[in-house]
Amino acid sequence: MKPVRTTCPYCGVGCGVKATPGVGRAVTIEGDAAHPANEGRLCSKGTHLGETVGLEGRLLHPAIGGKRASWDKALDLVARTFARTIKEHGPDSVAFYVSGQLLTEDYYVANKLMKGFIGSGNIDTNSRLCMSSAVAGHIRAFGEDVVPATYADLDEADLIVLVGSNTAWCHPIVYQRIQAARRQRGTKLVVVDPRRTETCEDADLHLAIRPGTDVALMNGLLAHCRDQGLIDEAFLGQSVSVPDGFWDGLADRDLWSTAGTCDVAPADLRRFFDLFAANPRTITLFSQGINQSIRGTDQVNAIVNVHLATGRIGKPGAAPFSITGQPNAMGGREVGGLASTLAAHMDFAPGNVDLVRQFWSAPAMAAKPGLKAVDLFRELGRGKIKALWIMATNPAVSMPDAGAVRDALSACPFVVVSDCMVRTDTLAYAHVALPASAWGEKDGTVTNSERRISRQRPVFANPGEARPDWWIISEVARRMGWKSPFAYDRPADIYREHARLSTYRNNGRRLFDIGHHGAISNPDYDALEPFCWGGTPFADGRFPTGDGRARLVSVRQMELADPLVQWPFTLNTGRYRDQWHTMTRTGLSARLSAHRREPLVEIHPDDAADLGIADSGFARLITAQGESVFRVQLSDGQRHGEAFVPIHWTDQQSTGGRTGRLPRPLVDPFSGQPGFKSTPLRIEPLVTE
Ligand code: SF4
């Protein structure tokens, strides 16, 4: 059999995969040397994809009330119940909660149905939990959600600063690329992370800053750049708006005060500043340590400010670079899959609403943003949302305060779950379960962290009665009475429509534009090669704002309160190298599971000694939201007072080590992204008989 060129379904690196089907569901996996994102490399998760495509644990038939039902009955019930709920309680009484696992075509159809035909903004995505602070920061600074770098910039940088990112584990192929640049070019590497992770092992410098002091660090760096004459005055004059009082806000940020706030040695901070001064080709790559914060957007803008003020943007090897966690978080951003955006990188400005209304011939356009994820589930718990459709995600585990989310799902009159797996805790709350296609069956496009659109192509036929998400959503729309707007026969029909919409402009410039594919033929869509939209953003010094100028944003370091006696620790959450999200797929691979067989809480040895806990002993982790028991791993890479746990284990896999119920549901005020990395915590030793 010939190999199928497709894209890995895990992280936002978006590696190209060659999948050669064998007998039955067997498949041989290798990296696609022709894909620019990975040039043939694959990490452990990608390499072992073939072990996760069997039919074990697959949802293969529609079900109503847990009993097998026909597609017709299930779809009719979903359409009828949503229509009745909208009629009785209005369009804002229903919601979709979708996922960065969906393909762009799936996302597009879901967004069109909710925002154009149901008439509500209530479609939000689990990408809200992952990168929405980067979206908000980009829009504040650039006027549009544009990532200004590609992976090729990593090859051309002289200094790479990784902030809040365990890249070696969470984006391994990006990390390998950084290592290659270090070998070949001597690129310097600085890691800023409160934890000493595997990513720090190869770094020139690790700054283990006090958690939550990223704004102080970046403002201190910016003040240093000003004092050393590194500000690019010509670029600022031509291309950047500087708000009144911006520089005054940095007055107290000298090296010593910054080192004190961040709790790092002044000599280390001086080294970082010197490296930054000496290497204008700088990439600052950031991820969840920046985004998953109640000040995430300010943290993003603190990083972007430094790049704008020093002119390190729009040039090879120089940019701030947000990398996404999920395979198609970026595709969701492009279609408007966030409650805060409308479609095709447009917000809810009245002119945009009218444009999209005309384009879709929409009968009931949403005129305002909908509920963001945390608010959405809060309103679900209050009874305001009466019908919810969850697509390809597991909020009963992955949302902060997941216990309250479960209570809300229990109380909701009508919950629909479309998923490819039965091993999700969320499926237990479904009144209607709809079997969706999985990786290896899906057909469409995804966009990775560098704005590269790639094809996911089918390797197998859909098993059982599984169907593509776009088909399921379109069938419900048609049964709600909107036949011709959702008369799609294939993903290419949707992609062409999405591409045409991307050319619509209310006013000004927008970089997201794939209009050249508005009439792409079916064969050309099938053969589509990976490509980045947006070219080299901002190379001409022009930004997609009204006046063409980017904006520096005044951001201040928030006051950090000392821990309360009741909650002396801070809970931090993250990923293991070989698991993906709630392990519904990676948990099927024995080899991937062998890397870490159980979830561990990592704490500093001195803290463990104070608590009377030995290495490999058990501890109970208690927050205001819930509690769970973990085995303890002592690690002097943890700061005092901090505890780190993985996000992966669920009720399905374990009786302990379940993180989901622990994080608090506080969010960033601009992005609505939850602050997963700073939940007040108490740790108690668990004495076993
Ligand atoms: Fe897949 Fe990410 Fe690994 Fe690439 S780096 S193979 S996209 S999990």
CB of 11 sitting under 6 A from ligand 1: yes
Lowest-confidence range among 27-36, 83-92, 231-240, 321-330?
321-330
CB of 29 sitting under 6 A from ligand 1: no
Kindly report, residue by residue over 133-144, the tens digit of the pLDDT. 999 999 999 999
Whether the CB-CB separation of 158 and 317 falls below 8 Å is answered with yes
Radius of gyration of the chain (CA): 24
Q: Pairing relation of β-strands 67-68 and 319-322?
A: unpaired
CB of 468 sitting under 6 A from ligand 1: no
User: Measured in angstroms, how far is the CA atom of residue 311 from the centroid of ligand 1?
Assistant: 32
DSSP 339-379: TT--BTTB-S-HHHHHHHHHHHT-SS---S----HHHHHHH
CB of 446 sitting under 6 A from ligand 1: no
Which ligand 1 atom lies nearest to the CA of residue 47?
6
The CA distance from 398 to 648, in Å, is 9
The architecture that CATH gives domain 77-122+342-442+461-532 is 3-Layer(aba) Sandwich (3.40)
Look at ligand 1, atom 6, and give the residue with the nearest C-alpha: 46
CB of 172 sitting under 6 A from ligand 1: yes
Kindly report, residue by residue over 193-213, the tens digit of the pLDDT. 999 999 999 999 999 999 999
User: Measured in angstroms, how far is the CA atom of residue 284 from the centroid of ligand 1?
Assistant: 21
In this structure, whether the domain defined by 569-686 belongs to CATH 2.40.40.20 is answered with: yes
Task: Tell me what pLDDT residue 1 has.
Answer: 83
Amino acid at 563: P
CB of 49 sitting under 6 A from ligand 1: no
The two tokens of residue 281 are 């080709």
Mean pLDDT of the chain: 95
- Report the residue among 6, 10, 29, 35 best suited for mutation to probe ligand 1: largest number of ligand atoms under 8 A from its CB: 10
Angle at 419 between CA 451 and CA 40, to 5 degrees: 40
- Report the residue among 6, 7, 15 best suited for mutation to probe ligand 1: largest number of ligand atoms under 8 A from its CB: 15
The CA distance from 366 to 360, in Å, is 12
What 612-617 contacts at long range (C-beta under 8 Å, 24+ apart), as own/partner pairs, is 612/685, 613/683, 613/685, 617/685, 617/686
Q: Which residue has the tokens 């690329």?
A: 177
CB of 31 sitting under 6 A from ligand 1: no
How many CB atoms are closer than 10 A to CB 140? 19
pLDDT grade for 391, boundaries at 50, 70 and 90: very high
Residue-range domain boundaries for the chain:
4-52, 77-122+342-442+461-532, 158-280+282-315, 569-686
Kindly report, residue by residue over 267-318, the tens digit of the pLDDT. 999 999 999 999 999 999 999 999 999 999 999 999 999 999 999 999 999 9
Task: Tell me what pLDDT residue 172 has.
Answer: 97
- Interhelix angle 104-111/491-501, rounded to 10 degrees, is 70
CB of 427 sitting under 6 A from ligand 1: no
Which ligand 1 atom lies nearest to the CA of residue 44?
3
pLDDT at 687 over 80: no
User: Measured in angstroms, how far is the CA atom of residue 8 from the centroid of ligand 1?
Assistant: 6
Task: Tell me what pLDDT residue 689 has.
Answer: 52
Whether the CB-CB separation of 445 and 103 falls below 8 Å is answered with yes
**The model's pTM:** 0.96
Alpha helices, H only, 199-339: 214-227, 233-239, 255-262, 266-278, 288-291, 296-309, 329-335
Find the farthest-apart pair of alpha carbons in the chain and give their distance in angstroms, rounded: 71
How many CB atoms are closer than 10 A to CB 579? 24
User: Measured in angstroms, how far is the CA atom of residue 335 from the centroid of ligand 1?
Assistant: 23
The CA distance from 7 to 679, in Å, is 35
How large is the average pLDDT for residues 600-620?
A: 95
Whether the CB-CB separation of 546 and 320 falls below 8 Å is answered with no
pLDDT at 348 over 80: yes
User: Measured in angstroms, how far is the CA atom of residue 558 from the centroid of ligand 1?
Assistant: 35
Task: Tell me what pLDDT residue 688 has.
Answer: 57
477: enclosing H helix or E strand: helix 469-479
Backbone φ and ψ of 643, nearest 5°: -135, 135
Q: Which residues contact 680 (CB under 8 A, 6 or more apart)?
A: 563, 564, 566, 567, 569, 570, 571, 623, 624, 664
Which ligand 1 atom lies nearest to the CA of residue 46?
6
- Kindly state the percentage of the chain with pLDDT values over 90: 89
Whether the CB-CB separation of 385 and 93 falls below 8 Å is answered with yes
- Kindly state the percentage of the chain with pLDDT values over 70: 100
591: enclosing H helix or E strand: helix 590-593
In this structure, whether the domain defined by 4-52 belongs to CATH 3.30.200.210 is answered with: yes
pLDDT grade for 327, boundaries at 50, 70 and 90: confident
ipTM: 1.00
3-state secondary structure (DSSP) of residue 415: strand
Whether the CB-CB separation of 212 and 198 falls below 8 Å is answered with no
CB of 45 sitting under 6 A from ligand 1: yes
CB of 141 sitting under 6 A from ligand 1: no
Kindly report, residue by residue over 570-605, the tens digit of the pLDDT. 999 989 888 888 888 888 888 888 888 889 999 999
Selection from 654, 586, 599, 651 nearest residue 57 by Cα: 586
The CA distance from 567 to 577, in Å, is 29
Kindly report, residue by residue over 97-135, the tens digit of the pLDDT. 999 999 999 999 999 999 999 999 999 999 999 999 999
The CA distance from 89 to 316, in Å, is 53
Look at ligand 1, atom 3, and give the residue with the nearest C-alpha: 43
The CA distance from 388 to 415, in Å, is 5
CATH superfamily label, 158-280+282-315: Dimethylsulfoxide Reductase, domain 2 (3.40.228.10)
CB of 423 sitting under 6 A from ligand 1: no
Domains 4-52 and 569-686 belong to one CATH topology: no
